[in-house]
Amino acid sequence: MFVQQLEPVAGSLGLSALVATLPLLTVLVLLGAVRMKAHRAGLIGLAVAVLVAWLAYGMPLGQTASSAAQGALFGLFPILWIVVNALWVYRMTVRTRHFDILRRSFGRLSDDPRVQALVVAFCFGALLEALAGFGAPVAICSVMLVALGFDPVRAAVVALVANTAPVAFGAMGTPVVTLAQVTGLPLDTVATVVGRQTPLLALVVPLLLVWLVDGRRGLRETWVPALACGLAFAAAQFAASNYVSAQLADIGAALIGAGALMAVPHARRPAAEPVRAAVPTGARSEDLDHEDPRPEVLRAYAPYALIVVVFSLAQIPAVKDLLAKATRTFDWPFLDVADPSGEPVGGNVFSLPLISTGGTLVLLAGVVTAAVIGVHARVAVREWAATVHELRFAILTVTSVLALAYVMNLSGQAATIGHYVAAAGAGLAFLSPVLGWFGVAVSGSDTSANALFGALQVTAAQQSGLSPELLAAANSSGGVLGKMISPQNLTIACAAVGLAGREGDLLRKVLPWSLGLLLVMCLIVVGQSTVVLGWMLP
């Protein structure tokens, strides 16, 4: 048995934490400063994590390799499984030209690209996050924005920044469900507190998106529809997470936010002048005059309606229990790890939710989609294989970064960083979202970050006299802001819009926004830990 150590470097928690951050710093520097391709940076970062685990933490090489293998498998299933299948559905709609019909339908809602960014990246992206998550919203929305005429880099940046507010309740509430499981706190309590933090981001993000599309002029001319969309989204997310269901929070928020946006008369008027910063002159109305038959429009929306139906049916308790029976749980081979107190860690056991996972449900919806939009079975299989080939470098990046995350977690590197942050005492409320942000930056998943640090946040809160529910929720709410800088999300965005190898360029563009919004979330949590905003908590 390998027992994790919290202070393996010179008996110092600070020095150990500094060494433990080397894998993540390596990846970020290689991406941002060296401009290395993400899959290579991920592999080098993994090598650094293995060396730190072996040389600094004393983890046997066999167990280190086994940890990396488990992380790689988790990257393939369920994360990439859902991304591949979601993009497969998208590719089939492109092949049958139903994606063009959907794009024209969205384009007719408004001729203003700033409003189109809100409809596609914020509202439609939130719906995709609610249903699939794990990178699918960024991939599909960035492609749709490019098809509407956006510059590929701007489209990717807008999609990445928009993919924040809905993340904590994404994939049918998977992150908050996981947070409740690892902390032992009631799901309703955790969801309630998260639902009083992330809606505040929803007020800011739409305004930020119109700024990204058209700068100061965009904010001046479209702040009313942006604010209406954000207010409606925030109110719906708050109401659903507090009084209805965490699993349905983003679905309701996305639909109500889109409805409020389109209800603003100003949102449906064309821009006064071409928004050249985002869209080449004339590209916005390229073929919007083409009238599509109503049955074809319905078929264009059918894939996403089918995903909603399939996921909704899967949430019915009887169906959910039936699907869960296919889950396979087993001891992970060549791995026997205990935490510093000597208790076996959860990573020793691995679960494969073969049917209940989101990727399988999207695959089922995709099979029905193929029949609805008229894709032959042979063609559908070819499109699936082509999707895998298209994402081959993204697959390598995601698996290497998840392997890195698992090595850091199981060797004790992540725990060292967590305990170092927890030792901040009075500053813990400020640093708590940072810990979640760090976890998502490494793993690309709010679910993984909650599994990584959720229990630690509760322990630290109890030691410092703060609310365990507040810090647990802060882990998830802060984590959503790390998603836009995670290497796998950057890779997915680049692969979707044809910018392979330019992940570093995207990182430099979104990092300031990630840090700025993180600061806002840190201040919110600090306020909620005092009388200033303490009234917001249940």
* Burial label, 295 (beta-carbon count in 10 A; 0-12, 13-18, 19+): exposed
Q: Side chain identity at 409, as an amino acid letter?
A: N
- Looking up tokens 């690892």 gives 182
Can you name the residues that pair with 329 across neighbouring β-strands? Answer: 351
Q: How far apart are CA 100 and CA 106, in angstroms?
A: 10
Contact 142, 161 (CB under 8 A): no
Q: How far apart are CA 396 and CA 477, in angstroms?
A: 28
- Residue of 274 and 454 predicted with greater confidence: 454
- Phi, psi at 2, each rounded to 5°: -100, 125
What's the token pair of residue 129?
């996050």
State the pLDDT at residue 509. 93
Residues 447-472: tens digit of each pLDDT: 777 876 787 788 788 777 889 999 99
Q: Checking DSSP bridges between strand 2-3 and strand 337-338, what pairing results, if any?
A: parallel
Helix, strand, coil fractions of the chain, as percent rounded to 5: 75, 5, 20
Task: Report which secondary-structure segment, H or E, holds 75.
Answer: none
State the pLDDT at residue 271. 53
DSSP, collapsed to helix, strand or coil, labels residue 2 as strand
Identify the band that residue 132 occupies on the pLDDT scale cut at 50, 70 and 90. Answer: low
The answer, as to whether pTM is greater than 0.75, is yes
With a cut of 60, say whether residue 30 has pLDDT above it. Answer: yes
Instruction: State the DSSP string of 287-351.
Output: STTSPPPHHHHHHHHHHHHHHHHHHHHHTSHHHHHHHHTTEEEEEPTT--EE-TTSPBPGGGEEE
Q: Checking DSSP bridges between strand 337-338 and strand 349-353, what pairing results, if any?
A: unpaired
Mean pLDDT for the stretch of residues 290-302: 88
| Nearest residue to 511 via CA among 490, 493, 484 | 484
State the pLDDT at residue 505. 87
With a cut of 80, say whether residue 115 has pLDDT above it. Answer: yes
Q: Side chain identity at 117, as an amino acid letter?
A: A
What's the token pair of residue 403?
């392997």
Cβ neighbours of 141 (radius 10 Å): 30
Least reliable range by pLDDT among 45-54, 71-80, 205-214: 71-80
State the pLDDT at residue 282. 38
- Residue of 464 and 341 predicted with greater confidence: 341
State the pLDDT at residue 427. 82
With a cut of 50, say whether residue 443 has pLDDT above it. Answer: yes
With a cut of 60, say whether residue 275 has pLDDT above it. Answer: no
State the pLDDT at residue 189. 92
With a cut of 90, say whether residue 2 has pLDDT above it. Answer: yes
Cβ neighbours of 512 (radius 10 Å): 9
What's the token pair of residue 371?
């029949």
- Phi, psi at 330, each rounded to 5°: -155, 160
- Phi, psi at 502, each rounded to 5°: -110, 25
Instruction: State the DSSP string of 231-292.
Output: HHHHHHHHHHHHHT-GGGHHHHHHHHHHHHHHHSGGGGSPPSS--TTTS-TT-TTSSTTSPP
Cβ neighbours of 243 (radius 10 Å): 10
With a cut of 80, say whether residue 290 has pLDDT above it. Answer: no
Q: How far apart are CA 484 and CA 27, in angstroms?
A: 15
Residues 54-82: tens digit of each pLDDT: 999 999 999 999 999 998 998 788 777 87
- Phi, psi at 9, each rounded to 5°: -95, 105
CA distances from 30 to 34, 39, 246, 292 (A): 5, 11, 37, 47
- Whether omega before 78 lies within 30 degrees of 0, making that bond cis, reads yes
Supply the DSSP symbol for 535. G
Q: How far apart are CA 468 and CA 433, in angstroms?
A: 13
- Phi, psi at 353, each rounded to 5°: -80, 85
State the pLDDT at residue 270. 54
Give residues with Cβ within 8 angstroms of 510, minimum separation 6.
157, 160, 161, 484, 485
Identify the band that residue 96 occupies on the pLDDT scale cut at 50, 70 and 90. Answer: very high
Give residues with Cβ within 8 angstroms of 212, minimum separation 6.
117, 154, 157, 158, 161
DSSP, collapsed to helix, strand or coil, labels residue 3 as strand
Percent of all residues in the chain with a pLDDT value above 90, rounded to a whole number: 47
Contact 238, 203 (CB under 8 A): no
Cβ neighbours of 294 (radius 10 Å): 8
